[in-house]
Amino acid sequence: MPDPRTGTTNPSPSSVRATPTPEPPPGKPFTTRLRNWFLMFLLLVIVAAGLYILFALKFSYSSGDRAGIVQEFSNKGWVCKTWEGTLTLTTLPGALPQTFAFTVRDDAVAREVSALMGQPVVLTYEQHFGLPSCFGETSYFVTSARVNPNPTAAPATLPLVPPAR
């Protein structure tokens, strides 16, 4: 039927195509969201572990010197090779010897220690707690080695004669 005001014919409602309303995009499936959360968590764990290792390597718990004779020194490890050694500490005559297990991470220091085996030496070390075994079997990392200039001197902190009463 023609429209009396405009003179045009209106299409019937059945012939008019309704324009589809755009549907919102479907949300991500649950498995995709779960995978993204897992990857974010895994990345966070890796970054936290890396920061922890950097912190543990940067700051030492203790440092000092140990004097004695290097008895054993070898390059150990399946994948992560480190230099591991044992220092027999100088003690008073007649006392049982004590040992000090240590790790060397630097090849130049390892050459120094190897050249001084069997001689009285002083090892300077730093102690780092909580590192994975790939960094060494012990928590004591030797940073330098030198010949002990006075190997027969008794420790200054121990009295040689018991105090008189």
pTM as predicted: 0.63
Instruction: Tell me how far the alpha carbon of residue 22 is from its chain's centroid.
Output: 53
* CA diameter of the chain: 133
Average pLDDT score, the chain: 80
Lowest mean pLDDT among 15-24, 34-43, 54-63, 146-155: 15-24
Q: Determine the straight-line distance between the first and last CA of the chain, rounded to whole angstroms.
A: 133
Q: How high is the pLDDT of residue 124?
A: 92
Q: Band of the pLDDT at 158, cuts 50, 70, 90?
A: very low
Q: Which residue has the higher pLDDT, 29 or 51?
A: 51
- Compute the Cα dihedral for 47, 50, 56, 57 and give only its sign: negative
Give percent of the chain with pLDDT exceeding 90: 26
* Distance (Å, whole) CA 39 – CA 34: 9
Distances (CA, A) of 164 to 101, 157, 159, 160, 161: 37, 17, 12, 12, 9
Segments in 59-146 forming alpha helices (H):
107-115
Q: Band of the pLDDT at 103, cuts 50, 70, 90?
A: very high
User: Looking at residues 129-155, what average pLDDT do you find?
Assistant: 79
